[in-house]
Amino acid sequence: MKKIFILILALTTVQISFAQKATTKKVTKENSSSTDFPKKIRRAQPADHFLIQLGSDSWMNKSDSARTSGGKHFNFYLMTDKPFKTNPKFSVAYGVGLGTSNIYFDKTYVDIKSNSNRLPFTNVEGTNHFAKFKVTEIFFELPVELRYTLNPNNFGKSWKFAVGAKVGTLLKAYTKGKDLQDKTGASIYGPSYIEKEYSKKFFNGTRLSVTGRIGYGMVSLSGAYTLTPVLKSGFGPEMNTMSLGITISGL
């Protein structure tokens, strides 16, 4: 999955660099009306409709036993942008894509295959532990945004603002531990040893988030907050995911 995302990122960056172009609606005497927006504020539509997001993730309201050490996300969406006929500075965008969330832990083992009714977070500082350990969730998501572009004639040199939401369904959840070490920090199987476990048992199958962005040109600062908890009700603390990062998009 990681290799696929890297390939998508590389291809999309090339696409954005070389395929950006503008199309405008020509307003003539025959097709114009009193409700047409002034010709000088015609909308220039970019050719690419990709939206790439990367940045940090964190679990809010987590328990003391969930000793996290940071997180990150990578999201990729294909979007359609529909400008308002009465004012092309405003538009509604919607699309489909994949969203990922990776939460890292410090000498803590998360047993997602446990038979317990609550997800265990076990402190393994004094015993065998992984040098790096994370929980990963992958979602299929449907995002929607209300957008405002200050200068719709030139997307590449304009301030942009967006608020929206996205709903997703959980495709995969797993843990990944790398380099198993003993309590002294000595590697047991070598630094390249990797162990993965897959299970969606404890995780909420639906993710609903509110989103916001502000930026200039192709780059914007973005944020998201999940309204649905990370874990199913009763399976652990009611944690929500906070995301902060950057968005790359021609729209």
Non-local (6+) Cβ contacts of 136 within 8 A are: 100, 101, 102, 103, 172, 173, 174, 175, 176
CA distance 156 to 248: 12
Domains of the chain: total? 1
And the tokens for 234?
A: 């009763």
Decide if 204 is inside a domain. Answer: yes
3 state SS of 6: helix
3 state SS of 7: helix
Decide if 50 is inside a domain. Answer: yes
CA distance 227 to 213: 17
The pLDDT value given to residue 207: 98
Phi-psi bin for 55: left (phi > 0), alpha (psi -120 to 50), beta? left
CA dist list (Å): 80 to 46, 48, 98: 11, 10, 16
Decide if 159 is inside a domain. Answer: yes
Prediction pTM value: 0.82
Decide if 18 is inside a domain. Answer: no
The pLDDT value given to residue 52: 97
The pLDDT value given to residue 155: 77
3 state SS of 9: helix
Decide if 150 is inside a domain. Answer: yes
Decide if 198 is inside a domain. Answer: yes
Average pLDDT of each block of 10 consecutive residues along the chain (251 residues)? 51 44 44 47 62 97 94 97 93 96 97 95 95 98 96 87 98 98 95 97 98 96 98 95 94 70
Decide if 205 is inside a domain. Answer: yes
- HSE, CB side, 13 Å, CA atoms: give it for residue 224: 30
Domain carrying residue 108: 43-249
The pLDDT value given to residue 28: 45
The pLDDT value given to residue 152: 86
Decide if 162 is inside a domain. Answer: yes
